[in-house]
């Protein structure tokens, strides 16, 4: 099973709101998910995205691949740096 960390869209027409989820890459964008990691409101910007750091690091350590948008969120939140530091400490 190839797990990706990606956005799934919820919200109204022309008023998007996204959940950050871990999902099998074979399922549809808004289809079955494994776990919700956070949420993102584009009207407020990436800086105000809410992400559970423990869950995100758990999935990254398990081999989940983030989408480009989620990777940008993780960079802004400093999660990529924490992931790399944890990976170096594990070796």
List pLDDT tens digits, range 40-86. Answer: 999 998 889 999 999 999 999 999 999 999 999 999 999 988 888 88
Kindly report the pTM of this predicted structure.
Answer: 0.87
Domain of residue 63, residue span: 3-90
- Mean pLDDT score, 33-40: 95
Burial of 6 per CB tally in 10 Å (0-12, 13-18, 19+)? buried
pLDDT at 90 over 80: no
CA angle, residues 28, 32, 36, in degrees to nearest 5: 110
Residue 11 is part of a domain; what is its CATH number? 3.30.1320.10
pLDDT of residue 74: 93
Copy the structure tokens of residue 43. Answer: 């009207």
Structurally, how many domains does the chain consist of?
A: 1
Copy the structure tokens of residue 34. Answer: 């494994």
| b/e per residue 19-52 (b: at least 16 CB within 10 A) | bbbbbeeeeeeeeeebeebbbbeeeeeeeebebe
Secondary structure of residue 28 in the 3-state scheme: coil
Q: Determine the distance from the C-alpha atom of residue 24 to the mean position of all C-alpha atoms in its chain, rounded to a whole number.
A: 13
């Amino acid at each position: 099973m190839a797990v990706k960390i990606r956005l799934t869209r919820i919200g109204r027409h022309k008023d998007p709101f996204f959940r950050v989820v871990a999902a099998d890459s074979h399922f549809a964008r808004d289809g079955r998910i494994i776990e919700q990691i956070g949420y993102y409101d584009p009207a407020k910007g990436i800086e105000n995205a809410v992400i559970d750091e423990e869950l995100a690091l758990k999935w990254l350590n398990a081999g989940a691949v983030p989408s480009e948008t989620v990777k940008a969120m993780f960079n802004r939140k400093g999660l990529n740096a924490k992931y790399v530091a944890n990976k170096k400490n594990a070796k």
